[in-house]
Amino acid sequence: MNAHVAPPRPGSETEAASRRPLSVRLATPRGFCAGVDRAIQIVERAIEKYGAPVYVRHEIVHNRHVVERLKAMGAVFVQELDECPDDRPVVFSAHGVPKSVPASARDRKMFYLDATCPLVSKVHVEAERHHAAGRHILLIGHGGHPEVEGTMGQLPDGAITLVESVEDAHRVMRPGQQPLAYATQTTLSLDDTAEILSVLKARFPELPDPHKEDICYATTNRQEAVKRLADGSDLVLVVGSPNSSNSVRLVEVAMRSGAGAAKLVDDASQMDWSWFESVHTVGITAGASAPEPLIQALIAAIGDRFDMTLMDDPGERETVSFKLPRALTA
């Protein structure tokens, strides 16, 4: 763990000597993952190449600041394709879309770019493989989340049953004599998913494992990092938007892993400084759709009020990157 004492920022009204000491631990990894970075680049490059407006079906990623910045560049966010003109590019979000969406775009001869995270696309492929083999799929995930809607929309109605909780796992029934398989949303809690799977496998021992874990590397790495962070932190701050599944899971994991308290904040403006009473060590992390400047602004705000020692927690160094669509690189 590397530590350094953060100097007071220029213009700070309070001398360091008069401020209470505070240790701040910064998680590694944190913030943007490769899928989020690719999706944002797709929108940015589409605007650069084709001009504004470029339409985006649903939020490209679940972060308010990212969405507002792209709006300022010329992105127009819509809920459905019928809100888009035929003659402008449309981008599908990183969470994935039902098959009916690109089919509708093709029918209208629209130019579209699919920003679905490749790891979500992998779940789609696995679901299709199980369906082709005659298996009914139990999908572990959160109802109403765009990723779940996209995965369920890869197959005909009734081919997938959503399992949201341990209680669902105890209640779910096999459709007739059909063999079963399972898939998971990529941004779930590792521990919650393992608990649900243990119930499902006890009830249906023939359940096969996916070729690889559906929960993505970025979700896994950030949850493992926040577990380390929570151990010894009086307060853990997670930078992320409330509709970001992976950010919300980080708060839950931090609390389960021993943090004194854990809070989700969109940015530094949402800080409640009463949270810091009797706090000596603060952990900071960010969901996979939260930009690094938001994290640095949060650290700066803390540094303005405390005699802060900033420490970088060791963790997994991520080197994953995903290619952009050929239409944007040709």
pLDDT score at 330: 82
- Choosing from 68, 147, 167, 224, the catalytic residue is 147
For residue 121, count other CB atoms closer than 10 A to its CB: 15
Active site residue 252: no
pLDDT score at 56: 98
Q: How does DSSP assign 157-222, residue by residue?
A: TTSEEEE-SHHHHHH----TT--EEEEE-TTS-HHHHHHHHHHHHHH-TTPPPPSS-SS-HHHHHH
Mapping DSSP to helix (H, G, I), strand (E, B) and coil, where does residue 39 land? helix
For residues 268, 307, 317 and 120, what is the CA-based torsion angle, rounded to 10 degrees? Answer: -20
Tens-of-pLDDT digits for all 330 residues of the chain? Answer: 555 545 545 544 445 557 899 999 999 999 999 999 999 999 999 999 999 999 999 999 999 999 999 999 999 999 999 999 999 999 999 999 999 999 999 999 999 999 999 999 999 999 999 999 999 999 999 999 999 999 999 999 999 999 999 999 999 999 999 999 999 999 999 999 999 999 999 999 988 765 556 889 999 999 999 999 999 999 999 999 999 999 999 999 999 999 999 999 999 999 999 999 999 999 999 999 999 999 999 999 999 999 999 999 989 899 999 999 999 998
pLDDT score at 285: 98
pLDDT score at 215: 84
Q: How far is CA 233 from CA 27, 177, 226, 262, in A?
A: 12, 50, 10, 9
Q: 244: which 2 tokens?
A: 């970001």
pLDDT score at 46: 98
pTM of the full predicted structure? 0.91
Q: How does DSSP assign 253-280, residue by residue?
A: HHHHTT-S-EEEESSGGG--GGGGTT--
Task: Please name each of the domains of the chain with its CATH number.
Answer: 2-32+217-312 (3.40.1010.20), 34-117 (3.40.50.11270), 118-215 (3.40.1010.20)
Tell how far CA 189 is from the center of its chain.
Answer: 11
- Separation CA 286–CA 291 (nearest Å): 8
- Separation CA 259–CA 227 (nearest Å): 9
The H helix count followed by the E strand count for the chain is: 11, 13
Tell how far CA 18 is from the center of its chain.
Answer: 39
Q: Name the burial class of residue 275, with classes exposed (0-12), middle (13-18) and buried (19+) by CB atoms within 10 angstroms of its CB.
A: middle
Amino acid at 32: F
Nearest to 62 by CA among 214, 184, 185, 158: 185
Place of tokens 């009916």: 100
- Separation CA 100–CA 111 (nearest Å): 15
- Cα-Cα-Cα-Cα dihedral sign, residues 263, 298, 222, 226: negative
SS3 per residue for 106-168: HHCCCCEEECCCHHHHHHHHHHHHHHHCCCEEEEECCCCCHHHHHHHCCCCCCCEEEECCHHH
